[in-house]
A and B are shown apart, each in its own frame.
Chain A
Amino acid sequence: MADQKNKAKQYQSFEDKRETKRPILLNCVKAFLVGGFICLIGQVITTFYIYYFDFTEQTAGNPTTATLIFITMILTGFGLYNRLGQFAGAGSAVPVTGFGNAVISAAMEHRTEGFILGVGTNMFKLAGPVIVYGVFAAFVIALIKTIFLQLGGL
């Protein structure tokens, strides 16, 4: 048993030396540029809503998010977002467009299993954890804040 484990360890380092590694630095640069560019588009849309419609800096966030997700939906539908994802990595995954893509791609993929058990059940299979832990984290932070304020705060 220990012998087998040793052999496996030896093999893993043998294999590791022959593996093509992720180009981490290059990936970071790409992610920074693409992610930054998506945020720039978001900023342009926000400014557009503030200047041409009756929105303020506080209220323009929601229509901006909706617009970005709409664009993502079209890109995902035409099979372009996954290509962007392969190039940009975290750059296209972290912004809200990445969240949109996770929901939309899953919904499209499982259409063949019907609208209830297919789309309905699987739509959030990738984005679900973001919601679960997002809500949970918000709850914990709110709890800490409340306790802190009740104790007198600063």
Chain B
Amino acid sequence: MLRRVASHLFWTARNLERAEWRARLADVNYHLLVESPAASSDGWLPLLAITGERAEFSARYPAADEQSVLEFFTIDEKNPSSIRSCIGLARENCRALRNHISSEMWFEVNTLYLDAQRWSAATFHEYGVYEFFFELRERFYRIAGVVRNTMPRELGYDFLTVGRTLEAAENVSRLLDVKYHFLLPRPNDVGSPLDLSQWAAVLRSASALEAYIGTYGNAIRIDKVVEFLLFDETFPRAARFCIDRLEAALERIAAGGGEGESVPGARMLASRLRSGSASAVLGGGLHEYLLGVQEDCARISDEMFARYLRFE
């Protein structure tokens, strides 16, 4: 497989994952604000904090009202991380991959791209925010489905997995980082009703609420949320689950080239997550731990690019 092809696959998966993630974040935040109007005056700011876009947003939009944030977050083409931009990038990568992906996958990505071209500021009014994100998420599920059902489990699929899992692990770690910072300003707040709904929303952002309840029951405790989203080995959006898959994919890639060992960063992060626990992490400083996770993710990306993907 060409390095360029592998790199297109990586970026396709990464951008699709990012777009889907943002759709879910925006959707959950919208619901949260509908349910707790008290928090809604600057209720859209945390969203921008999670994605690290506050500065860029404020530079171009006067106020962080719902319409502005949704526009910036979703359809603004000047924002390279808006959902529309991510879909566009995924599609550009897919276009060069026509020989390497199923026609079904191309069709789904291309159709989503063509639809996204028609989005405008009025779209949220026309559709309703709820309908808009509901349908958008369905589209991403459809893409995930055709990828799973039509792509052979070969080298190419491994690079798709690497792109997707790396993005997902980074996202969940940023989510926890920011939410913890925002939601625990005062120790007294712990256990209050607002807090609970906020943490339920965190879980919902990762589509994890039902799975969490299945594992820990319906009492939402902050340490259990951290445990679940970081260290659960069965839940697909948990950081550990993602990095386990990432490590396995990178090991297959390395084995395919007769290399003794896969990229070191992946093995390190995987073993770190396997041996981690919420109590240790919360005791030693969650923020520092999550920063470490994000640095490891960046390192994996660098190592992998140098080894397999850089071609120019």
Say if A and B assemble together: no
Chain A: residues with CB nearer than 8 A to chain B? none
Chain B: residues with CB nearer than 8 A to chain A? none
